[in-house]
Structure 1
Amino acid sequence: MNRIANSPLKIVPFFLLVVLLTNCRVADDGTGTNTDSENAGLLVPEGFEVTIVADSIGKARHLVVNDNGDIYVKMKSSDDQKGALALRDTTGDGVMDVVKRFGNRDGNFAETEMTIHDGYLYYTSSLRVYRQKLIPGQLLPDAEVDTILIDDHEHGDHEHNTKPLAFDGKGHMYVPFGAPNNACQEPKRTPGIPGLDPCPILENHGGIWRFEDDKKNQKQGDGERFATGVRSIVAMSWNPADDHLYLVMHGRDDLHRLFPNEFSPWENAVLPSEEFMRVTEGSDFGWPYCYYDHIQQKKVLAPEYGGDGETVGRCREYDDPILGFPGHFAPNDLLFYQGDQFPEHYRNGAFIAWHGSTIRSPYPQAGYFIAFVPFENGKISGEWEVFANGFAETDPIINTSDAEHRPSGLAVGPDGSLYITEDRNGRIWKVSFTGDKAAFGEEQLARMREEKQTASNIRRPDPEEDNLQKGEIAGGEQIYRTYCASCHQRDGQGTDRFPPLAGTDWVTGDKNRLVGVILNGLEGSIEVKGQQYNNVMPQHSFLSDEEVAEVLTYIRQNFDNDASAVTPEEVNDIRQRMQN
């Protein structure tokens, strides 16, 4: 198959830091360094102004801004501290000078939501939905914590267990139960094997459930399944303009790694789409059997179910998204703008926070920006746009860890300004419109259209010119780039989801354990260099003894590691013992 030929080609201290950065902007001089100063390092449409209202507060996920300007942030934290922050500006200068911790922290991963509903703060972990009563004039909410929902399933790896929330204003709360799998394979992410058909995961996962919004200690069985066929949801919102639920789905991974004869590394980087969905009761979007291809603009059969990237087959039966974005942008929040401050162009439209990819190797990582989708009369009314870029502060983004900031949460303040969080260093930006609303139009958007076509983290990569490993590589390095770099990154430093391979005893220590991880995979919580990781390492037993030895020798003797080689004989011995 060849979808490449028809694709377009390249188209210090807290307060001191705030003072220094509040009025700076980033521009790239071609070397990846920041050389200009305006708009807090971000590129936004003409007429907008960006300031930094908080910095270095920790890994900030979703947020909400109260009517009095207080900010509440859900933190992504692996320690035992309280899991939310309350921030207030007491001086009137726009900088949050009071920061206090509060909330329940249950030790579960994937903290996500922070929203206000009926006078309560609602926030979540991967397995719980909590709420606390807001007290007028008081920064911290009431100390009593209500548990509204308990995810009562057994979860070994917490894969896709985020719990964003949406409320319809009619007494209902909508919660996703993500699919703990990539494409319903067992074992997970194993090259070439078919997916389970029918997929048993869909009974209790891979969908959206509807609950009462104020009943305590509900479990999944107390709710009703509202929609199905969705893999992983972090970005979800109720649109008051048309009174419907919307979400943007994280698409599946590993097309090339799992099916190298069907999909190229380029296709693996740009596909499948991150799907923007309008959800009605009974919707079925087809995961795991199908995925959407935004290049072909159609839903196609997944390779685990006999697909080749072009065949539609049974996918005609499933609902299509309203829009397909490029693969692996990683949607982390969705917000429909109802404020009055921005120009009319933005009224009722959707902002999407793209957290950024981890698995686009050997091409530059993508995402790491804020997009805008215009709406009119409840329907998309134009092409999607770049609203804010420059968060990564580097171009191209080769390793996920190279990105200085990764956008995560969106909220609108009482004056109509847009607030944006990021979960690497804990910065909050405020984006305000200070131009002439009546004059805002094509001229003010021109620079953002250029950014969409030229920025390496946004445009479609050229199959040849943007290939970061187009030079000759072989042996262990080639195997590493093919099977490992997408998660652990080209530099072996890992990401917030996947552990580093540099300077860890997991790599340089016990060979038997290391070979066992390659052959059997690894699932569940582990600690690497003082940080907890809770994801799935798929087994790679399909590699030959020689290939396992080559790739393990490569990682044990690179990334500043200095350990002995692994031999094929050692791998074969461990493989035989595991099979007996």
Structure 2
Amino acid sequence: MGGVLCVGIVAYYGAEYPAAAILSIALLSHTLMRNPGGLPPSDPDNGGITLPGGFEAVVVTDSIGPARHLAVNDNGDIYVKLRFSAKGGNVAMRDTDNDGKADIIQHFGSYKDVGSLANGMRIHKGYLYYSSSLAIYRSKLTPGKLIPESEMETVLTDDHGHGAHWHITKPVSFDDKGFMYVPFGTPSNNCMDMANTPGGKPGQPGIMPCPELEQHAGIWRFDASKTGLTQKDGTLFATGLRSIVAMDWNKADKSLYVVQHGRDNLHRLFPDLYTAWQSAVLPSEEFLKIKEGDDAGWPYYYYDQMQKKKLMTPEYGGDGKKEGKGKELAQPLIGFPGHWAPNDLYFYQGNQFPARYKNGAFIAFHGSTNRAPYPQSGYFVAFVPFKNGAPTGDWEVFADGFAGVDPIVNVKDAIYRPMGIAMGPDGSLYISETEKGKIWRVMYKGDKKNFGTAQLAEMEKHKLLSHIRTPDEVKDNLEKGKIPENAKLYNTYCAACHQNDGKGDGNRFPPLGGTDWVTGDKTKLLNTLLMGLNGEIVVNDKPYNGLMPAHNFLKDEEVANILTYIRQNFGNNASAVSVEEVKAYRNSQKK
């Protein structure tokens, strides 16, 4: 057997890597003897993550940069989508000696990543598909070659001319009938007047009917054989979906599934209707089976996983109790707690894992940024068992420990944040993370026949950790009796994005420390807070392209307190902002 495989390696790698091919003959024979079944050795600590009994992990690479989605080719080559890389938007990796570690790592793909959430990466019919926020590209893979040699083609361009780039990432899925599915997320929180009050102000109603539904908040279906597409070349497949990053075609029941990001800021925008605790845990991140013509309800409805109902949103007359026509909308299979940020979904088709995982759904939760004053939550990979197109049980913790701290007070406290999921040709599961660019290969090396209750019960304990359970409204409030009034104002209006420690999330929201945006010209800072920002800025040499809500609804005293607080905290030591300066700035804008 070893001789046959060695000949295969020479044939496969020889043309491109002759030295590697010769070396691999000796290494492979040694690997086969020490790795029965062909699986490489695991890392002693599984690369720092916790898995059910019998599962082990090896770190493929640990520092390729901000990794997003990934895909694995039939020969085991790994392709990873990056965010903001000067070396190229993608990374290709190859393990030539079957030790589980990538020994060839190459960057490729030059294209503009507009925005901060460029995610998509798929292999379909010999093509590698990858996305920026506003476009989908593809390159033809050449057998035996790690880097695509063909010219990059533009499959689809989002030609809406967006200013802010919230929720418009372009993941992609393919069915078995020649169609491609692409979500077009909405650039607002809940269809408020973006032009005049970006991000919304307290009590502001939503626009009725919501014009964003015409070109956003839905999934469009396209002919997968074509390139040079724009949205008008597709058809609206489903609507009422605010933001989709996690999406997969389930081959077992031939259906499209998504886990959507719910809306934000219930307490900040409607403090008389929602407490800070309700805003931290609501609304649900909905796991949905999508059928053509479905309406999931955004912006008029959201799902409350505790009441197990779709309720009217406060922008459209809701109060946290009114159901309206919520029962008529597409209902989730599971309602996960709010703000966990579901960023990838994969239905497992392999045979390496125990039988209960076959056709089940793995979901990567990137973790919350806006659960203050409660601990941030998520930061793990869940599993949902499936049969005949429906869950056969509740969600389970599959892989945990990415954050490395507990509780997570600020999102930057998390060492790793899981992002992408893909399966290798042998049934191994690959998981990417965004903070440093670490990739894990998860393998099963236990006894399949004896896998079950004991292993699952052990993992069930992880639901009790404070960073993934529903927080106690009183005991888990991190601010209770601990912070001064000006810090409370900051935490109410700013910390959801910039975090309690002012460091931002390292992704969409910039840090407040050590930047002249904060410590420089007061007029610039006042303009930013009161008028908002819409579009790309550079903070501490890193680009950010998002939406800064206008906070012109705040009183002069509140504005002065917040700006003084950020100018004198987070490592800053700048002068205070007075109430008189706030009044003078506001008066100047009236002229």
TM-score by length of 2: 0.91
Question: Is 1:204 aligned with 2:210?
Answer: no
- Three-state SS of the structure 1 residue aligned to 2:326 is helix
Residues 58-95 of structure 1 deviation map (CA, whole Å, 9 limit, x = unaligned): 11111111111110111111x44321111001222111
Residue 100 of structure 2 contacts residue 441 of structure 2 at CA under 8 Å; is this kept in 1?
no
- Which residue type is aligned with residue 480 of structure 1? Y
Identify which range, 465-474 or 250-259, moves more after superposition.
465-474
- Which residue type is aligned with residue 56 of structure 2? E
Post-superposition offset of 1:486: 1.2
Aligned partners of 2:327, 2:77: CA distance in 1, in Å? 47
Aligned partners of 2:574, 2:411: CA distance in 1, in Å? 26
Residues 307-358 of structure 1 deviation map (CA, whole Å, 9 limit, x = unaligned): 1111111323321111100000000100000100000111110000000110
Post-superposition offset of 1:378: 1.1
Pairing of 1:418-457 with structure 2 (within 5 A): 418-452=429-463, 454-457=464-467
- Three-state SS of the structure 1 residue aligned to 2:492 is helix
Aligned partners of 1:407, 1:344: CA distance in 2, in Å? 24
Pairing of 1:260-409 with structure 2 (within 5 A): 260-409=271-420
- Three-state SS of the structure 1 residue aligned to 2:376 is coil
Q: 2:492 aligns with which of 482, 492, 496?
A: 482
- Three-state SS of the structure 1 residue aligned to 2:325 is helix
Post-superposition offset of 1:38: 2.2
Aligned partners of 1:400, 1:446: CA distance in 2, in Å? 29
Q: Which has the larger radius of gyration?
A: 2
Residue 80 of structure 1 contacts residue 105 of structure 1 at CA under 8 Å; is this kept in 2?
no
Structure 2's unaligned 5+ residue stretches are: 1-40
Runs of 4+ in 1 over 4 A off after TM superposition: none
Question: Is 1:73 aligned with 2:73?
Answer: no
Aligned partners of 1:69, 1:319: CA distance in 2, in Å? 38
Residues 267-289 of structure 1 deviation map (CA, whole Å, 9 limit, x = unaligned): 11100000001101100001000
The equivalent residue for 1:115 is 122
- Which residue type is aligned with residue 171 of structure 2? P
Aligned partners of 2:214, 2:154: CA distance in 1, in Å? 24
Q: 1:473 aligns with which of 455, 479, 483?
A: 483
Post-superposition offset of 1:412: 0.6
Aligned partners of 2:328, 2:454: CA distance in 1, in Å? 43
Aligned partners of 1:135, 1:414: CA distance in 2, in Å? 17
TM-score by length of 1: 0.93
The equivalent residue for 1:106 is 112
Aligned partners of 2:322, 2:508: CA distance in 1, in Å? 33
- Which residue type is aligned with residue 105 of structure 1? Y
The equivalent residue for 2:157 is 150
Residue 261 of structure 2 contacts residue 286 of structure 2 at CA under 8 Å; is this kept in 1?
yes
The equivalent residue for 1:176 is 183
Post-superposition offset of 1:169: 1.7
- Three-state SS of the structure 2 residue aligned to 1:284 is coil
Residue 476 of structure 1 contacts residue 552 of structure 1 at CA under 8 Å; is this kept in 2?
no
Post-superposition offset of 1:232: 0.6
Aligned partners of 2:381, 2:483: CA distance in 1, in Å? 35
Structure 1's unaligned 5+ residue stretches are: 1-21, 25-36
- Which residue type is aligned with residue 85 of structure 1? V
Cα RMSD over matched residues?
1.1
- Which residue type is aligned with residue 442 of structure 1? T
Aligned partners of 1:92, 1:558: CA distance in 2, in Å? 50
Question: Is 1:96 aligned with 2:107?
Answer: no
The equivalent residue for 2:267 is 256
Post-superposition offset of 1:23: 5.7
The equivalent residue for 1:237 is 248
Residue 104 of structure 1 contacts residue 145 of structure 1 at CA under 8 Å; is this kept in 2?
no
- Which residue type is aligned with residue 268 of structure 2? R
Residue 267 of structure 2 contacts residue 273 of structure 2 at CA under 8 Å; is this kept in 1?
yes
Residue 148 of structure 1 contacts residue 214 of structure 1 at CA under 8 Å; is this kept in 2?
no
Residues 184-220 of structure 1 deviation map (CA, whole Å, 9 limit, x = unaligned): 0012322111000110000011100000112110111
Aligned partners of 1:307, 1:136: CA distance in 2, in Å? 56
Aligned partners of 1:555, 1:396: CA distance in 2, in Å? 24
Residues 540-574 of structure 1 deviation map (CA, whole Å, 9 limit, x = unaligned): 11111011001111111111111111111110111
Post-superposition offset of 1:471: 1.6
Residue 141 of structure 2 contacts residue 150 of structure 2 at CA under 8 Å; is this kept in 1?
no
Residue 56 of structure 1 contacts residue 425 of structure 1 at CA under 8 Å; is this kept in 2?
yes
Aligned partners of 2:559, 2:89: CA distance in 1, in Å? 41
Question: Is 1:126 aligned with 2:133?
Answer: yes
